[in-house]
Amino acid sequence: AQQRLQRRIKQAQLTTTASLADIDFQVARGLSKSKFLELAQGQWLHQHLQLIIVGPTGVGKTFLASVLADAFCQQGHSVRYFRTADLLLELKLAKADGSFPKWKRQLAAFNLLILDDWLRDPLLQEQARDLLDLLDERYRKAACLFATQLPVPQWHQQIQDPTLADAMLDRIVHDALRLSLKGESMRKLTSSVQPDATEYAIA
């Protein structure tokens, strides 16, 4: 069982390793411990919903996404993490060498797909079309987590093609839970205390 767990965690390719025990809820603002633990239980995962984590840079979006990923790996779910820019690059390469259909099916099989830095950069029409293709493959069959600095009302303007933007947002936002974070960058706050301090403001 431990080997299977380690395999799932490795397969997730997380850039940050964190668990529920690493969260200091004493500095949390606006989100109770019980509410976050409820998210970590994964009912939304079983319902194939989306989770959108929104907040300024450094506030703990990637950390919280990694905590949830770890919890779901512990529960036996398959997870895959991408920075959105890296996903778009892999997507482009897969289309170039003809492996896109197979690659898309592989990604569709994960119980949770995490897209970090979502819409940090504007999406070109072809990128939006390919991402929509991927989201369609997973729609109401598997869950996605989007971590982003951009509030949802600003998403549309980051997607060049308005029709594709409408379709993409319809698939993401309609079934989405939202977690809004605020506060100063925790990297900045903790750097003056100790290098490895782990405190995250959640609100």
Q: Tens digits of per-residue pLDDT, 106-130?
A: 999 999 999 999 999 999 999 999 9
Residue 197 scores a pLDDT above 50: no
Mean pLDDT (whole number) for 180-199: 54
**DSSP state letters, 39-78:** HHHTHHHHTT-EEEEE--TTSSHHHHHHHHHHHHHHTT--
Residue type at 171 in one-letter notation:
R
Residue 57 scores a pLDDT above 80: yes
Domain boundaries, the chain: 2-191
User: Which tens digit of pLDDT belongs to each residue from 6-15?
Assistant: 999 999 999 9
pTM: 0.89
Fold of 2-191: Rossmann fold (3.40.50)
User: Tokens 């897969």 label which residue?
Assistant: 94
Residue 195 scores a pLDDT above 60: no
